[in-house]
């Protein structure tokens, strides 16, 4: 890696993009072999937040009878209050543009406070049911709190919690495994429409926030959720509702989604969106072809079909690699 860096720096010097003095300064700095622990420290901070909140959950579960509900809720409320007090006191306040924290601990305290708020409201609803039988409110309230914290404190981790809560409020799970294994997703057709509608609403929000320049660096998170939700919902519905005659509608949704994310991935130079877009489009295209070929009799040409099948998959892999290389060249230009 050092040899590669030296060659790259020398290339900059040869192209007169840096001066000889700058080249010497860069070479001298790299010879010190200084490396940053910033990523490692942030990882341990993030891990500590997860362990702390998980520990509180385990503590509640193991000692719920001996400690008492009021004591547990009071302890949670005190910890949440201390976290939010410190965060509000040391934050820069709400700003439409991206905000960097002077101290990294603040960012993870916001995350801890948001997770504990979700635990507090969930436990409160489970034990005392302040929202009655309106269980959706128990999901919506921490979701709104998370959205507020995400925008006020400019926290991407809290934003993912908020979007996940919003998805749960409309009745679906945002993880691919849960979506594909959710029996309600197949039995209730309206859930497919709700998932696709939620995905498109997230896309519309990114368009609106870009126009008003509101936390535009959040767009990649919204678009990632939208891509997975729309694509998985369309593919799942394409598998299940083919006999109902409405499969073509979901095929069009998947095609439109793939086209949009193809364009936006190039615009944002987001390789993650591009890769998943290709994967989902490829899966949907294969399902579409298989459904069409179900009515064709292959009894006379099945040997040719078996021979062509490996060639098709090998060609798909080669094409996938070629598309990724082309995309990397385009964003690097």
Q: How far apart (Å, rounded) are the C-alpha atoms in residues 176 and 155?
A: 24
Closest to 186 (Cα-Cα) out of 172, 198, 197: 172
Whether residues 243 and 271 share a domain: the answer is: yes
Q: 87 with 132: CB under 8 angstroms?
A: no
Q: Is the pLDDT of residue 187 over 80?
A: no
Q: Can you give the pLDDT at residue 183?
A: 45
Q: What is the pLDDT of residue 63?
A: 67
Nearest to residue 317, comparing CAs of 276, 271, 266, 279?
A: 279
Decide if 312 is inside a domain: no
Exposed/middle/buried for residue 66 (C-beta within 10 Å: 0-12, 13-18, 19+): exposed
| Counted domains in the chain | 3
Residue 274 contacts residue 247 (beta carbons within 8 Å)? no
Task: Considering only the C-alpha atoms of the chain, give the largest distance between any 2 of them, rounded to a whole number of Å.
Answer: 76
Q: Which residue has the higher pLDDT, 218 or 184?
A: 218
**pLDDT: is 76 or 20 the higher one?**
76
- Residues 63-98: tens digit of each pLDDT: 666 677 787 788 888 989 988 998 888 888 888 888
pLDDT tens digit sequence for 253-266: 999 999 999 999 98
* Residue 224 pLDDT: 94
Cβ–Cβ < 8 Å for 201, 225: no
> CB–CB of 270/220 below 8 Å?
yes
Residue 93 belongs to a domain:
yes
pLDDT of residue 174: 46
CA torsion, points 107, 111, 113, 118, in degrees to nearest 10? 160
Does 14 have pLDDT greater than 70?
A: yes
Residue 185 has pLDDT above 90, yes or no: no
User: Do 109 and 55 belong together in one domain?
Assistant: yes
Please give the pLDDT value at position 4: 56
The tokens for 265 are: 């991935």
- Residue 100's closest CA among 56, 145, 142, 38? 38
DSSP 236-297: HHHHHSTTTT-HHHHHHHHHHHHHHHHHHHHHHT-HHHHHHHHHHHHHHHHHHHHHHHTTS-
Regarding whether 146 and 117 lie in a shared domain, the answer is: yes
The string of pLDDT tens digits covering residues 21-60 is 777 777 776 776 666 656 666 667 767 777 777 777 777 7
Q: How buried is residue 131: exposed, middle or buried, by Cβ count under 10 Å (0-12/13-18/19+)?
A: middle
Summarize the confidence of residues 187-192 as an average pLDDT: 67
Domain-located, residue 45:
yes
Residue 329 within a domain: no
Q: Are residues 146 and 270 in the same domain?
A: no
Q: Do 146 and 228 sit in the same domain of this protein?
A: no
Question: What's the token pair of residue 243?
Answer: 């006999």
Q: What is the mean pLDDT of the chain?
A: 80
Could you list the residue range(s) of the whole structural domain that residue 285 is in?
180-296
Per-residue pLDDT reduced to its tens digit, 220-246: 999 999 999 999 888 888 877 655 567
* The pLDDT value given to residue 182: 46
Mean pLDDT, residues 309-320 taken together: 86
Please, which pLDDT band fits residue 176 given cuts at 50, 70 and 90?
Answer: very low
Examine the domain organization and report whether 42 and 86 are in the same domain. Answer: yes
For residues 71 and 230, give the distance between their C-alpha atoms in angstroms, rounded to a whole number: 43
Whether 164 contacts 157, CB under 8 Å = no
Q: Is residue 190 part of a domain?
A: yes
Cβ atoms of residues 162 and 146 within 8 Å? yes
More confident call, 217 vs 306? 217
Produce one character per residue of 97-120: b if its CB has 16 or more CB atoms within 10 Å, e if not: eebebeeeebbbbbbbbbbbbbbb
């Amino acid at each position: 890696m050092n040899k590669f860096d030296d060659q790259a720096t020398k290339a900059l010097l040869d192209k007169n993009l840096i001066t000889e003095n700058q080249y010497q300064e860069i070479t001298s700095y790299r010879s010190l072999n200084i490396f940053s622990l910033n990523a490692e420290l942030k990882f341990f901070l993030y891990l500590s937040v997860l362990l702390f909140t998980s520990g509180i959950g385990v503590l509640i579960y193991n000692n719920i009878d001996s400690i008492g509900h009021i004591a547990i809720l009071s302890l949670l409320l005190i910890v949440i209050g201390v976290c939010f007090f410190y965060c509000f006191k040391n934050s820069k306040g709400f700003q439409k543009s991206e905000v960097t924290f002077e101290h990294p601990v603040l960012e993870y305290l916001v995350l801890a406070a948001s997770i504990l708020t979700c635990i507090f409201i969930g436990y409160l609803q489970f034990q005392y049911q302040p929202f009655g039988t309106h269980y959706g409110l128990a999901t919506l309230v921490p979701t709104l709190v998370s959205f507020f914290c995400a925008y006020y404190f400019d926290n991407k981790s809290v934003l993912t919690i908020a979007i996940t809560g919003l998805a749960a409020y409309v009745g679906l799970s945002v993880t691919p495994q849960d979506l594909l294994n959710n029996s309600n997703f197949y039995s209730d057709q309206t859930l497919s429409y709700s998932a696709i509608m939620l995905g498109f609403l997230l896309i519309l929000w990114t368009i609106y926030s870009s126009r008003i320049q509101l936390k535009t660096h959040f767009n990649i998170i919204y678009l990632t959720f939208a891509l997975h939700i729309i694509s998985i919902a369309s593919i799942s519905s394409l598998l299940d509702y083919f006999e109902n005659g409405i499969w073509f509608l979901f095929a069009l949704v998947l095609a439109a989604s793939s086209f949009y994310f193809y364009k936006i991935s190039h615009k944002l130079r987001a390789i993650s969106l591009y890769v998943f877009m290709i994967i989902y489009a490829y899966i949907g295209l294969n399902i579409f072809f298989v459904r069409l070929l179900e009515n064709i009799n292959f009894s006379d040409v099945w040997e040719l079909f078996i021979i062509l099948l490996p060639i098709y998959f090998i060609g798909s892999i080669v094409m996938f690699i070629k598309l990724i290389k082309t995309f990397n060249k385009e964003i690097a230009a």
